[in-house]
């Protein structure tokens, strides 16, 4: 089971949309874990509040503090597809309950890694904005890949740079720690090369700027004609292929094996310095 964590610096670049879009085309079973300390958006947004807010990360955290969850993690998840391929561990309805998560992260991460059972399964974790109070640094340190989601504008890159640097200093380097890469929202291949040069980390993939398709995942808008072959989903399928290659390379290198996990204490990244 691989854990891919998605984070941003500021300015809502599209972490939640990218997480849901990638999950929708993930090649096997995937759990979307809403670990954003600011609270979950998927039930109110993508699901249009059609599902009651029950279970989710909070009840999983409370249960994981009592005993190892293993495959019991799925009891706290909600199916997003009828075939059970995509499930959601919904985020906090009340962010003030974040202290429960802080104490439960080690047990929750164990549960993420053990919940697969016999089936190929991965976790896509929406971890919100770096530097927010409650950023799940323990999850980031034990993820296989941390994707820093950003748009390529100068102001976005200026926000990203110090947080990326803090992450590089705070997280153990691969192969023990996660691979760090950028997931770009919008921009050409040339822009991706420039961003990679400016930030000094690879751009794992670029998702197209496509507001109509993004609104399906952000607000539960009905997909328009051509959604599946549109810019967002086409670029998302490519992004997932690129990510799978990265995960395969890492698995073949034997990186991030249990027992090589990073220490639980990771220096905090600097505060974001802006209102959410
Ligand atoms: N690829 C995209 N193209 C165009 N618009 C997008 C794209 N991804 C996201 N958006 C839009 O940007 C807004 C923010 O998206 P989203 O909620 O995914 O951001 P976020 O980074 O999770 O924000 P927050 O940190 O507030 O949780 C939404 O209105 C969404 O429709
Ligand atoms: Mg979000």
Which is nearest to 47 in space by CA: 75, 25, 68, 16? 16
Q: Collapsing DSSP states into helix, strand and coil, what is residue 260?
A: coil
* Widest Cα–Cα separation across the chain: 50
Rounded CA separation 175/183 (Å): 20
Mutational test site, ligand 1, from 6, 13, 17, max ligand atoms within 8 Å of CB = 17
Buried b (16+ CB within 10 A) or exposed e, 183-220: bbbbbeeeebeebbeebebebbbbbbbbeebbbbbbeb
* Ligand 1 mean position, distance from CA 221 (Å): 13
CATH fold of 2-252:
Rossmann fold (3.40.50)
pTM reported for the whole predicted model = 0.92
Q: Domain spans of the chain?
A: 2-252
How many Cβ atoms are within 10 Å of 54's Cβ, its own excluded? Answer: 12
| pLDDT of the chain, 276 residues: tens digit per residue | 899 999 999 889 999 999 999 999 999 999 999 999 999 999 999 999 887 667 899 999 999 999 999 899 999 999 999 999 999 999 999 999 999 999 899 999 999 988 888 889 999 999 999 988 889 999 999 999 999 999 999 999 999 999 999 999 999 999 899 999 999 999 999 999 999 999 999 999 999 999 999 999 999 999 999 999 999 999 999 999 999 999 999 988 887 654 444 443 333 433 333 332
Pocket around ligand 1: residues whose beta carbon is below 6 Å from it?
A: 8, 12-17, 36, 41, 128-129, 185, 207, 209-211, 214-215, 218, 232
| Tokens matching residue 129 | 């904005």
DSSP string, 38-63: T---TTTTTTTT-S---SSHHHHHHH
254 CA to middle of ligand 2, Å? 31
């Amino acid at each position: 089971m691989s854990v891919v964590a998605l984070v941003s610096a500021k300015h809502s670049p599209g972490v939640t949309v990218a997480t849901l879009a990638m999950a929708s085309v993930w090649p096997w079973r995937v759990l979307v874990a809403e670990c954003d300390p600011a609270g979950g958006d998927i039930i109110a947004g993508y699901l249009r509040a059609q599902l009651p807010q029950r279970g989710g990360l909070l009840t999983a955290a409370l249960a994981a503090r009592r005993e190892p969850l293993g495959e019991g993690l799925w009891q706290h998840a909600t199916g997003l597809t009828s075939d059970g391929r995509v499930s959601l561990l919904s985020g906090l309805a009340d962010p003030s309950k974040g202290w429960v998560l802080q104490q439960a992260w080690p047990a929750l991460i164990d549960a993420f890694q053990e919940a697969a059972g016999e089936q190929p399964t991965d976790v896509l974790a929406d971890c919100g904005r770096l530097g927010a109070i409650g950023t799940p640094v323990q999850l980031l340190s034990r993820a296989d890949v941390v994707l820093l989601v950003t748009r390529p504008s100068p102001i976005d890159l200026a926000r990203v740079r110090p947080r990326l640097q803090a992450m590089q200093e705070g997280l153990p380097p691969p192969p023990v720690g996660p691979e760090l890469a950028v997931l770009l929202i919008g921009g050409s291949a040339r822009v991706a090369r420039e961003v990679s040069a400016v930030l000094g980390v690879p751009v794992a993939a670029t998702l197209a700027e496509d507001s109509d398709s993004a609104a399906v995942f952000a607000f539960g808008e009905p997909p328009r004609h051509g959604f599946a072959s549109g810019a967002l989903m086409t670029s998302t399928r490519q992004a997932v292929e690129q990510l799978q290659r990265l995960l395969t390379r890492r698995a073949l290198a034997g990186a991030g094996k249990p027992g090589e996990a990073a220490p639980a204490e990771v220096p905090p990244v600097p505060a974001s310095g802006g209102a959410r």
